[in-house]
Amino acid sequence: MKIIVAIKQVPERDAQVRIAANGKWIDEADLQWAMNEPDAYALEEALLLKESGGACGEVIVVSAGPERVGSTIREALAKGADRAIQILCDDLNGRDALGVARLLAAAIKPENPDLVLTGLQSEDLGLGQTGVIVAELLGLPHATMILHVEKTESGLKVKRELEEGWFQSIELPTPAVLTVQSGGNKLRYATLMGIKRAKTKDLRTVNAAELGAEGTPAVVLDQIAAPKKQKSTQILPGSAKEAAAALVEKLKTEARVL
């Protein structure tokens, strides 16, 4: 099976984010970057499928973004992806979900994969649409929030998460696009050997402009800001001990929940 995994590089989870001077995006200077977590699960699922399918499988990683995205692609290669395509694009944040999906679809199409996997949403913009739109652009069936993928004679059987602790099986033919939910598997770490090998693996770069996938955005992000507080929180100051004692007192006499 030939599997393409679309991954995104996002700010590291614990990174301090500041709003950029123009108020339209975050200040990217000094940020640490990481692989979007649901995409890491998509990659894991792809690697497991390949490993269970014998020697003929291939896992190709595709990612759009500026130069820096290369480090996340290398990480995917170190974990076991066979090769990668980097779509060089410095204005990723100026594109809407359709604009980004157009880039990915244009890079994926000539590869004719059996399966396209991606995380169900990104940790930065959280749009949760890219995989579904890629499917639509490629004319492929899709399923979302997938925790497990099984190959069957006629295609795939997948486990889809529903709300409130429910699940559902879905059967669909290949080629198909799946968006993967976090937590279905355990993520592997790159081995030292893997990291070494990654350096020699094929990483092809293509400029976004060359893909012929431009269009005007239908949706524009005008401004970002800090969220408004829903409640006024009493922050209890002092050392851990002082704050703990103050909290117990408040819970007893003010909130009356003890």
Partner 1 sequence: MSVLLVLEQSCGKTRRASWEALVAALRLGPAENITAVVIGAQTEALAAEAAAKPVGKVIRVEHPLLAQYTADGFCAALQQLIQNESPTEVVVFSHTYQVRDYAPALACRMGQVLIGDVVAIEDGPKFVRQLMQGRLIGSYRHSGIGPCFVSVQAGAFRPDATDTRPGAAPAPITTFTPTIDAAQIRTKPGEPFRASEQTVDLGSAQRIVSVGRGIKEAANLSIVQELATALGAELAASRPICDNGWLPMERQVGSSGQTVAPRLYLAVGISGAIQHLVGMKGSQCIVAINKDPDAPIFEVADYGIVGDLFEVVPALTEALKAAKQ
Residue 30 sits in the site that holds partner 1 (CB under 8 A): no
Shortest reach from residue 237's CB to ligand FAD, in Å: 16
Binder of residue 110, out of partner 1, ligand FAD, none (CB less than 5 to 8 A by kind):
none
Which region, left, alpha or beta, applies to residue 85 given φ > 0 means left and ψ of -120 to 50 means alpha? beta
CA–CA separation, 119 and 147 (whole Å): 11
Closest to ligand FAD by CB, 80 vs 184, is: 184
| Alpha-carbon gap, residue 183 to 165, rounded angstroms | 13
Question: 202 to 221, contacts with partner 1 by CB under 8 A?
Answer: 216-221
State the number of binding residues for ligand FAD (CB under 6 A): 3
Question: For residues 98-137, which are near ligand FAD according to CB under 6 A?
Answer: 120-121
Residues 168-227 that bind ligand FAD (CB under 6 A): none
CB 100 within 8 A of CB 128: no
Footprint (CB under 8 A) of partner 1, residues 91-150 = 96-98, 101, 120, 123-129, 132-133, 135-137, 141-145
Instruction: Give 74-117 as a DSSP string.
Output: HHHHHHT--EEEEEE-S-GGGS-HHHHHHHHHHHHGGG--SEEE
The correct pick among 13, 186, 228, 241 for binding ligand FAD (CB under 6 A) is: 13
Cβ atoms within 10 A of the Cβ of 172, count?
Answer: 18
Scanning 65-73, 79-87, 191-199, 224-232 for contacts with partner 1 by CB under 8 A, the matching segment is 224-232
| Residue whose CB is less far from partner 1, 166 or 189 | 166
Please provide residue 87's backbone torsions phi and psi, each rounded to the nearest 5 degrees.
-95, 110
CA distance 42 to 180: 5
Residues 29, 55, 56, 240: which binds partner 1 (CB under 8 A)?
240
Residues numbered 175-194 forming contacts with partner 1, rule: CB under 8 A: 182-183
Choose the contact partner of 153 out of partner 1, ligand FAD, none; CB within 5 to 8 A by kind: none
Strands 115-119 and 176-180: parallel
Distance separating alpha carbons of residues 71 and 201, to the nearest angstrom: 13
Which residue in 68, 199, 204, 252 binds partner 1 (CB under 8 A)?
Answer: 252
Q: What are phi and psi of 39, to 5 degrees?
A: -65, -35
Task: Kindly tell me which of 13 and 241 has the beta carbon lying closer to ligand FAD.
Answer: 13
Q: Which residues bind ligand FAD (CB under 6 A)?
A: 13, 120-121
